[in-house]
Structure 1
Amino acid sequence: MIFSELYGAYYNAVANIIKEALDHPVKSADIRRIVEKHAYLESALNIEPALLEEKWQLLKKDGTTIIENDPTMPLTIIQKRFLKAISEDKRIKLFADEVIDYDAEPLFTEDDYIVFDKYLDGDDFEDENYIKNFRTILDAIHNQYLIEINTINRKGNPLKQIMVPKYLEFSEKDDKFRVYGNGRRGRVVANVGKIISCKKYDGEYEVTDKEIVNDKSEVIFELEDKRKALDRVLLHFAHFEKEVEKIDTDKYRVKIVYNTEDETEMVIRILSYGPMIKVVEPARFVFLIKERLIRQRNLMKK
């Protein structure tokens, strides 16, 4: 992987461990603290024994390092090509008119891959009005002021919503952005693609100050670590709250916490790993997996 062993999360974590070891001997607690800050908590499962058992010959037995200077992190050509590809994503322009020119050929383009299990009516990220509305929402999130959003509801009638936006959420399955905020009666949600106009609201308006809390669900599955499946799963679900427990040689138990409204997307994500993952809890999620597999099998018979 482009950003794993070479200048990725592991590298940053180990680089900071080395920096600390240059100042004073590090212990197990120091390593776990640094890993939790610069990588993922479960990364300690790999990093700590690799350093302390000298599989990675970077630390001495006394916790000092054989390295003499602080590690540096220049970009490699392959990283520049990857970042060039990311910078050409249509969604990048939602955040800035100008992007960094990495002076390299993109590693891939959107024509190089096909995405399955994804709706085709995603947001038009290049539409000027969409970009304008998106940036207004983003600025309101950063500066916490009221905005007025005008949309058309399902019946074709105009709808005005006033809120203090709290965050934006992107759905890979729907290929759409949603904005969540606080309104007069509680949480307000709007699809950015359906917004006709969005502007700062200067009038008097009381909104609830209750914290927005999404309904949460969790899924527990067992994973067989073949072909680096554990690394791939941890990277895939990096932005989710999770727990990882080793239950046998090359076998792990993983718990993922996700927003309940994104359950279909979670089913699709887990199914993409095939037989390497077995969902064990809850029974409702196991049923959803079986139901989707049956539907796919029936479609293949047609």
Structure 2
Amino acid sequence: MELFSEVYGCYYAVVAEILRSAPVTRAQAEALAAGRGYGESVLQLIPKLLDSRDWPLLEERDGLFHSRLDRLPDLPVTHLERSWLKALLADPRLRLFLSDGQLAHLEEALSGVEPLYRQEDIVYFDRFLDGDDYADPGYRQRFQAILSALEREAVLHLTYQAPKTGLHTGDHRPLRLEYSPRDDKFRVYTVKVQDSAFPCCYILNLGRIVDISPSDAQYSGAFDVSEWRRRHRCAQPLLLRVSGERNGVERFMLEFSSYEKQSEYDGETGVCTVRLWYQREDETEVLIRLLGFGPVVQVLGPESFVALMRERVARQAALLQRGKN
């Protein structure tokens, strides 16, 4: 089975976009090539497309370049892509983002297609077992209500079951939806309408939201979640030494791809020195993730975090010893 084809590469996509946008000026074509392609795309593509007969797809009339094609370019879905989509349909998390009509259309279009893989083929060895119940119709309804509110910048009336303080209700405007692979949970960042004078960000686990309804309240204030996260991150970044053993550097970068970090790689030793910032409320999760790398990752500081790791390792060793006895 052929996995890749140049027809689905960047250059073909750029040329297709120019053809769809035609008629275009030369400046517009160059802007499309620069925005959708690589750094050298303008120099490589535009002369072949506009100035010569190499790719006779456009013709110039009155200072504009018109497409010679009778139909707009369109790429068919390959068998591999159909097989991949069929596998995704079995993931309960995907169904949170699609309506019943969309799901029915996809299932009909992909009937008879063998999935590329099956959910039972994937073994999660480093994930908590109390993830959100994605098969719950009520969870899906609440998820889609939040998703719609994000798109419309609307306010919702939420009832939330806090783990320590019980039920809370209020009018919230959702700002960001986030998924934690380690927890297997979704959480939403919101701002409360009644806190408009001194806005504060709330992080709510979707599994603890018990009721959602539309709200007539309005929130027109500006709230930058990214800036709020920067203000509430750890005071000092972690200083880490990541070795190349067992492909450690690549695995580390993939695991912490969503975290802010600075890295310096030593090609001679294969060691990467990393400064990593994290949200204070994520400290335990970050600690567990780092411990999962074993000797591949060495935590150099700050000392307070090193002490937490030593305490965690000592506690785990004591539990193992107790189990042997």
User: Given the two structures, how large is their TM-score scaled by the length of structure 1?
Assistant: 0.68
**Which of 211, 224, 229 is matched with 1:211 structurally?**
224
Whether contact under 8 Å (1:164, 1:181) holds in the other structure is: yes
Alignment correspondent of 1:270:
290
* Structure 2 counterparts to residues 89-238 of structure 1, below 5 A: 89-97=91-99, 98=102, 101=110, 103-110=113-120, 112-116=122-126, 118=128, 120-153=129-162, 158-183=167-192, 184-185=194-195, 186-203=200-217, 209-212=222-225, 213-214=228-229, 215-217=232-234, 218-238=237-257
Q: CA deviation at 1:149?
A: 0.5
Distance 1:140 1:127 in 2: 20
Q: CA deviation at 1:165?
A: 0.9
- Cα distance change on mapping 1:293 and 1:12 into 2, 3 Å: farther
- Cα distance change on mapping 1:156 and 1:227 into 2, 3 Å: closer
Distance 1:260 1:157 in 2: 23
Q: CA deviation at 1:246?
A: 2.0
Q: CA deviation at 1:178?
A: 1.9
Q: CA deviation at 1:277?
A: 0.9
- Give the greater-gyration-radius structure (CA): 2
Distance 1:255 1:83 in 2: 37
Amino acid at match of 2:315: R
Whether contact under 8 Å (1:182, 1:207) holds in the other structure is: no
Alignment correspondent of 1:16:
38
- Cα distance change on mapping 1:116 and 1:232 into 2, 3 Å: closer
Whether contact under 8 Å (2:241, 2:297) holds in the other structure is: yes
Unaligned 5+ residue runs, structure 1?
Answer: 25-71
Q: CA deviation at 1:110?
A: 3.9
Q: Which moved more, 1:247-256 or 1:132-141?
A: 247-256
* Structure 2 counterparts to residues 34-73 of structure 1, below 5 A: none
Whether contact under 8 Å (1:164, 1:207) holds in the other structure is: no
Amino acid at match of 1:139: S
Amino acid at match of 1:90: P
Distance 2:250 2:162 in 1: 43
- Cα distance change on mapping 1:243 and 1:85 into 2, 3 Å: farther
Whether contact under 8 Å (1:147, 1:162) holds in the other structure is: yes
Amino acid at match of 1:141: L
Q: CA deviation at 1:274?
A: 1.2
**Which of 238, 255, 259 is matched with 1:240 structurally?**
259
Amino acid at match of 2:253: L
Deviation digits for residues 23-74 of structure 1 (CA, Å, limit 9, x no counterpart)? 49xxxxxxxxxxxxxxxxxxxxxxxxxxxxxxxxxxxxxxxxxxxxxxx9x9
Whether contact under 8 Å (1:182, 1:208) holds in the other structure is: no
Amino acid at match of 1:250: G
Q: CA deviation at 1:135?
A: 0.8
CA RMSD of aligned residues (A): 3.4
Unaligned 5+ residue runs, structure 2?
Answer: 12-36, 47-74
Instruction: Judging by fraction of residues, say which structure has more helix.
Output: 2
Q: CA deviation at 1:198?
A: 1.0
Q: CA deviation at 1:105?
A: 3.0
Amino acid at match of 2:259: F
Q: CA deviation at 1:245?
A: 0.2
Q: CA deviation at 1:264?
A: 1.3
Whether contact under 8 Å (1:245, 1:252) holds in the other structure is: yes
Distance 1:157 1:230 in 2: 43
Deviation digits for residues 84-105 of structure 1 (CA, Å, limit 9, x no counterpart)? 5444222111111446549333
SS at match of 2:114: coil
SS at match of 1:228: helix
Q: CA deviation at 1:298?
A: 1.6
Alignment correspondent of 1:33:
none
Q: CA deviation at 1:21?
A: 6.0
Amino acid at match of 1:255: R
- Cα distance change on mapping 1:125 and 1:242 into 2, 3 Å: same
Distance 1:263 1:282 in 2: 13
Distance 1:235 1:86 in 2: 21
Sequence identity percentage: 27
Q: CA deviation at 1:137?
A: 0.8
Distance 2:252 2:84 in 1: 20
